[in-house]
Each structure stands twice: as structure tokens, then as C-alpha cells.
Structure 1
């Protein structure tokens, strides 16, 4: 079965509510369901995906920070040496980050989730016991 990629938008790095506002995206949940993977036993690796696949392709020089929050956990602090953290809350002009987006294969998302969990195989759904 062919699975869609996970799309990361560069602008999400500039918002408190970016990258699914800290939730696992529906595309990931659908992928896990179709593969029989118990996503409740894996943390969705937003920051790892962004660091590995979005930040390296940005055409601007950025510094990113991890934020302890229930919202977007990774954000741009500076763009080309200028502090842009006010944009996290919708204040000030929003700088442009290019490219606009990057697609990441779901198999790579799974690999990063497994790495973060220290696993080599994904946890699977356990069928209910029948009486």
C-alpha cells in the first residue's frame, strides 16, 4: 500500500500553533492504523523530523529552539541573525522561510519515532482475548 508523505510547512516554525499544535498529525495516525502500529506507544517525533528534514533545507540561516509546551515544540528563534520569536504569538511581521514545505516519507517518520523510543520494531496492536 502506498502511503502519503508527511508535509512540513516552513511557516510552522514561526508559530506557537505550528506543526499540528503539538498533536500527532492525522496522516501519521492513518499510517499507523493501516500498518497495525500502536501509535499510543510511540511519541510523535516532531522536533526530530523538523531538525532532520526541514531545517537543513531552509535557504535562510536560522537558529531553532526546543520549547517545553503542549503546543508546537520547535520554533525559529532567529532568522539571518534577527530575533523573530515575537512571531510565535502573531506579533510583528512574519519573515519568509523558504522553501515553503518539505515532504517526508512516512517510513522515515516511523524510523525517527522508533529511534526516539529506543526500539527497532514498531509496537503492534494486541488483538483482544476471546472467551
Structure 2
């Protein structure tokens, strides 16, 4: 049994402008980094990589995603089973059902992807007396 904390990625978040925590880093990630002494301010949360490597391969429907430059959810479904879903983002069309409902990704894998995106071998750590072990 693996007790490593995970990040949960919900399939439905691909269909919303406000999905994936409205594009903000999830609290579970920030809390885990703090517990590890990792300075998350110097390490980006790898949402797009997580979606592409873990969520999309698990989804049973044929989904194409698009990166969106926005202060909101930065990665969204563009096409689901051959149907454009742009109007779904705006709440002007019914959502298709995506299965499975979600995937869980271990925090170690989230960190590995974050380090790869940053071109780092080791995570940056908080400095100062409050963060010393």
C-alpha cells in the first residue's frame, strides 16, 4: 500500500474556463512542498504536463486539448470525440461526459515533472531560520 499523497485531476475540469482550480496551484501541492521544505515560489506547478501525461491517456473518449493563455484554466479540451467543445467552456452547450471521472497522481511524480520543466535536478528549498529542519 502506497501512502504517498496525490494530486487529483478531474476530467470535467478540461471542459471549464474555471477548471483545475481556475489555473491556480492546488493547496495540496503547496502544502506538500512546504512539508518537504521545497520553495514552490521558484518551481512552477506542471499542470499541462500532468494533464498530458496522466489524465489524457486515462480518458476513454478521444480528447484533443489546447493551451489557453489566460489567467484562468490554461489547458482545456478543444475537441471531444470529434465535436468542438468551445461553447462548453462558456456554458453555452451541454458538457460531454468524460470517463474516468478523475486520476490521482503521486506528489513525487508532480515534483519530477516540475523539476523537468524547470531544468533542475534538485528542488529549490526555502532559506532562513523558519524553514530549517
Q: What range is the shorter-chain TM-score in?
A: over 0.9
- 1:66 corresponds to which residue? 67
- 2:97 corresponds to which residue? 96
Q: TM-score, normalised by structure 1?
A: 0.94
3-state DSSP of counterpart to 1:59: coil
- 1:114 corresponds to which residue? 115
- Output aligned runs, 1:19-38, within 5 Å: 19-38=20-39
* Cα displacement string for residues 66-110 of structure 1 (whole angstroms, at most 9, x for unaligned residues): 001111111100111010111112221110000000000000000
3-state DSSP of counterpart to 2:17: coil
Give 4+ residue runs of structure 1 displaced > 4 Å after superposition: none
Distance 1:89 1:43 in 2: 27
| 1:17–1:71 Cα contact (<8 Å) kept | yes
- Structure 1 stretches of 5 or more lacking a match? none
Kindly state the Cα deviation for residue 3 of structure 1 after the two structures are TM-superposed: 4.0
- 2:12 corresponds to which residue? 11
* Cα displacement string for residues 48-78 of structure 1 (whole angstroms, at most 9, x for unaligned residues): 1100000011100111100011111111001
- Structure 2 stretches of 5 or more lacking a match? none
Aligned Cα root-mean-square deviation (Å) = 1.2
| 1:62–1:78 Cα contact (<8 Å) kept | yes
Q: TM-score, normalised by structure 2?
A: 0.93
Distance 1:24 1:91 in 2: 27
